[in-house]
Amino acid sequence: MDIKGKTVVITGASRGIGADAARVFAQAGANLALLARSADSLAALAEEIGGNTLAFACDVSDPAAVAAALQQTHLAFGSLDVLINNAGVIDPIARIEDADPAAWGQLMDVNIKGVFNGIHAALPLMKSGSGGTIINIGSGAAYNALEGWSAYCASKAAVLMLTKALHLEEAENGIRVLSLSPGTVATDMQRAIKSSGINPVSQIDWKDHVPAEWPAKTLLWMCGPDADEFVGDEVSLRLDLVRRKVGLV
């Protein structure tokens, strides 16, 4: 896909992978809609990027707010071509016995219901045109249980199954569905993990985390035909093969 002039929605766009993805897609000439809870951070990023950029301060766990943002985006740009479900949280980091049920449920509201809300709002808009690409952000935590991460691991496993189910339902309707497992990335989330001191991930040296620009560039590559072999499944940025395809090594 030539992304120039295409409309790309990125959730969790105010920082980390989302913000770097916004920069990468803007440089490639995309029309952008950026969603996040932080209005100030979004406004600053939109001003930095310039061009055809819309900013929506909303919580992805609110289906009406997500649907309204995507409707306004479609109205403004005339299409919805790519949705990147990037918004996600790691807290609560706690053993199951000690976890606060409300915090555990809030993570599910963001990490899995938020992904569903984006997909549910995007599908009719994409299908009214020529289809589109939906990319969910996965994690190795979907495959490997980690102490203190019951909510996060469960949510990422659910996102992987949602990715596969969506592919089964919508591939024939022109919807490309993929997941990106980015590995450990040098973002604020990793700082929270580091400070928790729980499980081996918190012990990883900071220099061993990849920069947020790597998954951002991979997301752009995943929108094109070179990534078609991964449609309906997950792309792991840990794989040297993938890094070479993207041009990172």
> Per-residue pLDDT tens for 189-221?
888 888 888 888 888 887 778 888 999 999 999
CA–CA distance, 48 with 42 (Å, rounded to integer): 10
Identity of the amino acid at 116: F
Q: Which residue has the higher pLDDT, 196 or 46?
A: 46
CB distance 107 to 89 below 8 Å: yes
String of DSSP letters for 212-235: THHHHHHHHHHTSGGGGGGTTSEE
Q: Residue 205 contacts by C-beta under 8 Å, 6 or more apart in sequence?
A: none
CB distance 116 to 67 below 8 Å: no
The overall average pLDDT reported for the chain is 94
pLDDT at 151 over 90: yes
pLDDT band at 1; cut points 50, 70, 90: low
pTM for this predicted structure: 0.94
**Average pLDDT for 218-228:** 97
**Average pLDDT for 163-185:** 95
Per domain, the residue ranges of the chain are 7-243
- State which fold the 7-243 domain adopts: Rossmann fold (3.40.50)
Annotated catalytic sites, by residue?
152
pLDDT in tens, 90-149: 999 999 999 999 999 999 999 999 999 999 999 999 999 989 999 999 999 999 999 999
